[in-house]
A = this chain, B = another copy of it.
Amino acid sequence: MSQPEPGAVVDLLGVLAYAELTAFDRLAEDARLAPTLTGRAALARMAAAEIAHHVRLTDRLVELGADPAAAMAPFTSALDTFHESTRPSTWLEGLVKAYVGDGLAADFYREIAAFLPEPDRLLVLEVLDDTGHADFAVREVRAAIVADRRLAGRLALWGRRLVGEAISRSQAVIAEHDGLADLIITGTGDLAGVGRLIERITSAHTERMTTLGLNP
């Protein structure tokens, strides 16, 4: 496989570093919607884990001679818009977003990371490791649905809206960053490869919705 251009690596680390910073923000904000102190502390811990990841990514950017703030800057508007347009209005919507939205994003970044040289491939895979969202969110959402079946329909709609927004934002980001687009096309080999990548991401998403007890 040909080496990606250095700019693409900085782009990917930059977008991920900013994604972790916004994930922190969002989890910190959603923590305030928690119905219990225990739930609030759980979300705050997840937010702190995102910052640990953010720090590892910015440290690596500095190592590569890049300015972290400059590497993140091109992606702030797309990610901010995504979060603004999918602001949870309830504790459960926040959890579905943390699980389904972050899961989808992590799958996508993981696919791209496979095309990176070491040590960046491993770094990206490590920072994408689940920070405890998964179990916690699944447990809370499933329990809530059992207690009130009507929630399932509403949360399933919310999950679908999240995916729609995520896909349109990702397409916009890739279209604006030739390095990232090249990385994906070269990495997957051809358009059929891109198709298979999208299929893998979509089927993992369907599985997550099912795990939550929601109709994909």
Which A residues have a C-beta under 8 Å from some C-beta of B? 18, 21, 24-25, 28-29, 31-32, 36-38, 40-41, 44-45, 47-48, 51-52, 54-55, 58, 68-69, 72-73, 76
Q: How many copies of this protein are present in the complex?
A: 2
Of the A-B pairs whose beta carbons lie under 8 Å apart in the complex, a sample of 25, sorted by A's number, is A18-B37, A21-B40, A21-B41, A24-B28, A24-B47, A25-B28, A25-B31, A28-B28, A28-B29, A28-B47, A36-B69, A37-B68, A37-B69, A37-B73, A37-B76, A38-B68, A41-B54, A41-B58, A41-B68, A41-B69, A44-B51, A44-B54, A47-B48, A48-B48, A48-B52
Hey, which chain B residues are within 8 Å of A21, CB to CB? 37, 40-41, 44
* Bound complex: CA A54 to CA B41 (Å): 9
Residues of B near A32 (CB, < 8 A) are: 25
